[in-house]
Amino acid sequence: MQGLIGDIPKALVPLSRQVLLDTLMQRLALLELPTYLVTNSRYHDQFQAWQAKARWPIDIIDDGSTEPANRLGAVGDLAFAIHR
């Protein structure tokens, strides 16, 4: 997939008139619950830029990973977000 979308996180791939994450956030906003997104250091700035434009109430968390060798994985990211 990386070859098709370049250096863009999958959640920020354009889908029609908005990015995929906007579609998800529209649905999550109906629940009126705190929303968190855990990302790696590589994509953190892109998610911050998206949030500045989209203005969704979401807490974007950088898990500090910089390469596959130091990734936390999905469960590790959840634990990281809960304990920070």
Residue 3 pLDDT > 90: no
* Domain edges within the chain: 2-83
What burial class does residue 52 get, using C-beta atoms within 10 Å of its C-beta: 0-12 exposed, 13-18 middle, 19+ buried? exposed
Give the tens place of pLDDT for each residue, 31-56.
Answer: 999 999 999 999 999 999 999 999 89
pLDDT digits (tens, 9 = 90+) for 53-83: 998 999 999 999 999 899 999 999 999 999 9
Mean pLDDT of 7-36: 93
